[in-house]
C-alpha cells in the first residue's frame, strides 16, 4: 500500500507561544467605554485595591514600578474568572499575538513543543530560510537557555516570548544535543509563516492544509483551490490538524466555501440571547468529495468549521477527537498597549451541540501519535486517501445543496 507522509510543517502557533485563539473578528475595540459604564458601587468595591496600592507604595521594603503592580492586578482579576481562554496580554505579548494572526513573527524560526514527561522544551521543526536554519539548529535539539536564562525556569510561552523580539536584535540560544551544549548567536528577523500549504497527491487527490484562521485565509484558500484545479481531482483532503483557531469571521467564510446556505453556528450569550450565523452564500464551488483531517490540536475555529461540515453532511471527518473549545472571545485594546481577551459567548454547531471540553468526534477514528516530528508515515492521511479512492467519502454538496449552489 502506498505510504503517505504529511506535507509541510505543523503546529505553527504552538511553536511560537501563541495560545488557542477564537475572537469575534470584527475589529478590536476599546475598553474605555467599559470603564465609564461601571455602576455606582465601583469606587466602594475597589477601595481595598487602592488601599493595598497605597500601602505598598508607602511601606513595602523595595520600590516596585507601577506598571508591575498594574499587571499583577490585571492578572489577578482575570485569574478570578477561572477561565483558561480569558487573559490579559502585556503590550509585547499583545503585539506578538496580533502579528501572528497576520502570518508574521519576529524571531528565529523554530517550532517547539514541551515534552510532557520530561518537561523539556524540544525543537521539533526549523523553518527554511530563517536564522535558526542558517545557524544549524536541528529538530531534536533541546532548548537549554536563552541569553543565559535556563529554559527549565520558564514555561513554553515565556521561553517563546524571550526568543521573539524586535527584528535586528541579537540573542544567544543554547541547545543540548546529545551530551553537548551548543551556543548559537543569531539576529532576529521578521518571518512570514506560510498559512496554506497544498499539493496534488498520488492518485490525483488534492491536499490542502490550513494553519490558522486569519482575515486573509478565505482568499488564500480560494487562490489555492484554483491553482491546483481542485475540481479536476478525485477528491480534496482539507487538513485542520493542529490548527488552533483564529478569527470567527474567517471561520464563517471558510465554512461557507463548502456550505452554500443555512446555519453555520449559533452564539449563546449570558443574557440567554442568541445570534445565528448563516452561510455567506459565497461558495468555492467544490464538486469533489471532501475529507477533513482533525486531531486533538484542532481547536476553536477549526472545530467550528469541521463541526459545521459534519452536521451539514458535506464532508467526512477523519482523525481523532478535537480539542473541545466551544467559547467565543473578543479582544479589547487597553490604554497601556496591552490587551484583554474575554469570553463573551458559547457557540453551538448547526445541530445545536456545544462541544466545549468534549470536542468533535470524527466520522472515522484513526489514532496516530507520531514517533517524531518528521515521522514519514501518516495513517490518518492514508485513510483519507483510501476513502476518496474507494468512493466512500461524502460528496461535498448533497443533491439539494448542489441545486441551490448551481
Domain that holds residue 150: 104-192
Which of 171, 192, 213 is where one domain is finished? 192
Residues 362 and 328 in one domain: yes
- How many CA atoms lie within 13 Å of 238's alpha carbon, on the beta-carbon side? 27
Residues 143 and 241 in one domain: no
Task: Answer yes or no: is 324 within a domain.
Answer: yes
| Structure confidence at residue 207 (pLDDT) | 98
Task: Answer yes or no: is 91 within a domain.
Answer: no
Q: Pick from 307, 400, 286: which is nearest to 352 by CA?
A: 307
Neighbours of 164 (CB within 10 A): 22
Which of 37, 59, 86 is where one domain is finished? 86
* β-strands 327-333, 29-30 pairing: parallel
| Structure confidence at residue 126 (pLDDT) | 84
Residues 9/127, Cβ–Cβ less than 8 Å: yes
| Structure confidence at residue 110 (pLDDT) | 86
Across the 406 residues of the chain, what is the mean pLDDT of every consecutive 10-residue run? 45 30 28 39 77 92 92 91 89 76 79 81 84 92 94 82 89 94 95 88 97 92 97 97 89 97 95 94 96 93 97 96 92 89 94 96 92 75 97 68 46
- Residues ≥6 apart with Cβ < 8 Å to 232: none
Chain Cα centroid distance, residue 227:
25
Positions annotated as catalytic residues are 300, 311, 325
Residues 238 and 316 in one domain: yes
Q: Pick from 88, 110, 214: which is nearest to 156 by CA?
A: 110
Alpha-carbon span 2 to 94, nearest angstrom: 45
Residues 303 and 352 in one domain: yes
Q: How many residues does the chain have?
A: 406
Residues 183 and 209 in one domain: no
Residues 200 and 138 in one domain: no
| Structure confidence at residue 13 (pLDDT) | 31
| Structure confidence at residue 46 (pLDDT) | 83
| Structure confidence at residue 4 (pLDDT) | 55
Q: Pick from 389, 388, 380, 392: which is nearest to 5 by CA?
A: 380
Alpha-carbon span 109 to 126, nearest angstrom: 6
| Structure confidence at residue 142 (pLDDT) | 94
Which cell goes with 205?
Answer: 487527490
| Structure confidence at residue 101 (pLDDT) | 66
| Structure confidence at residue 143 (pLDDT) | 94
Residues 211 and 144 in one domain: no
- Residues ≥6 apart with Cβ < 8 Å to 142: 120, 121, 122, 123, 175, 176, 177
Residues 17 and 150 in one domain: no
| Structure confidence at residue 292 (pLDDT) | 98
Task: Answer yes or no: is 4 within a domain.
Answer: no
| Structure confidence at residue 42 (pLDDT) | 61
Alpha-carbon span 331 to 95, nearest angstrom: 12
Tell me the helices (H) and strands (E) count for the chain, helix number first. Answer: 13, 22
| Structure confidence at residue 25 (pLDDT) | 30
- We report the CATH number of the domain holding residue 161 as 2.30.42.10
Task: Evaluate if pTM is beyond 0.85.
Answer: no
Which of 145, 174, 192 is where one domain is finished? 192
| Structure confidence at residue 5 (pLDDT) | 53
Residues 254 and 380 in one domain: yes
Share of the chain residues as helix, strand and coil, in percent rounded to the nearest 5:
30, 25, 45
- The H or E element that residue 250 is part of is helix 248-258
Residues 262 and 391 in one domain: yes
Domain count for the chain, please give it.
3
Amino acid at each position: 500500500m502506498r505510504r503517505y507522509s504529511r506535507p509541510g510543517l505543523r503546529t505553527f502557533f504552538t511553536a511560537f507561544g501563541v495560545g488557542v485563539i477564537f475572537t469575534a473578528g470584527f475589529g478590536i475595540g476599546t475598553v474605555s467605554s467599559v470603564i465609564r459604564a461601571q455602576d455606582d458601587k465601583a469606587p466602594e468595591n475597589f477601595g481595598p485595591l487602592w488601599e493595598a496600592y497605597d500601602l505598598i507604595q508607602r511601606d513595602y521594603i523595595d520600590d516596585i514600578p507601577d506598571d508591575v503592580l498594574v499587571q499583577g492586578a490585571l492578572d489577578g482579576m482575570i485569574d478570578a474568572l477561572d477561565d483558561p481562554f480569558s487573559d490579559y496580554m502585556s503590550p509585547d505579548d499583545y503585539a506578538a499575538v496580533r502579528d501572528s494572526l497576520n502570518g508574521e513573527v519576529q524571531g528565529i524560526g523554530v517550532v517547539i513543543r514541551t515534552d510532557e514527561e520530561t518537561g523539556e522544551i524540544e525543537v521539533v521543526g526549523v523553518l527554511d530560510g530563517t536564522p535558526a536554519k542558517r545557524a544549524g539548529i536541528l529538530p531534536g535539539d533541546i532548548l537549554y537557555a536563552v541569553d543565559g536564562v535556563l529554559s527549565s525556569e520558564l514555561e513554553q510561552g515565556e521561553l517563546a516570548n524571550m526568543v521573539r523580539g524586535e527584528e535586528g536584535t541579537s540573542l544567544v540560544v543554547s541547545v543540548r544535543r546529545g551530551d553537548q551544549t551548543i551556543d548559537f548567536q543569531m539576529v532576529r528577523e521578521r518571518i512570514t509563516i506560510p498559512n496554506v500549504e497544498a499539493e496534488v497527491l498520488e492518485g490525483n487527490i488534492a491536499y490542502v492544509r490550513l494553519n490558522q484562521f486569519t482575515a486573509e485565509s478565505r482568499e488564500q484558500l480560494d487562490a489555492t483551490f484554483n491553482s491546483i484545479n481542485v475540481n479536476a481531482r478525485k477528491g480534496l483532503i482539507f487538513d485542520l490538524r493542529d490548527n488552533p483557531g483564529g478569527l470567527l469571521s474567517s471561520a464563517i467564510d471558510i465554512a461557507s466555501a463548502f456550505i452554500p446556505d443555512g446555519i453555520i453556528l449559533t452564539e449563546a450569550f449570558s443574557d440567554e440571547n442568541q445570534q445565528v450565523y448563516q452561510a455567506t452564500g459565497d461558495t468555492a464551488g467544490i464538486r469533489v468529495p471532501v475529507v477533513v483531517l482533525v486531531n486533538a490540536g484542532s481547536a476553536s475555529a477549526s472545530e467550528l468549521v469541521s463541526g459545521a461540515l459534519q452536521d451539514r453532511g458535506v464532508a467526512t471527518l477523519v482523525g481523532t477527537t478535537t480539542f473541545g473549545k466551544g467559547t467565543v472571545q473578543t479582544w479589547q485594546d487597553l490604554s497601556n498597549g496591552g490587551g484583554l481577551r474575554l469570553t463573551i459567548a458559547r457557540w453551538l454547531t448547526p445541530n445545536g451541540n456545544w462541544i466545549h471540553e468534549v470536542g468533535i468526534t470524527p466520522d472515522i477514528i484513526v489514532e496516530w501519535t507520531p514517533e517524531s516530528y518528521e515521522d514519514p508515515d501518516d495513517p490518518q492521511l492514508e485513510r483519507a486517501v483510501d476513502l476518496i479512492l474507494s468512493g466512500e467519502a461524502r460528496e461535498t454538496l448533497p443533491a439539494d445543496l448542489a441545486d441551490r449552489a448551481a
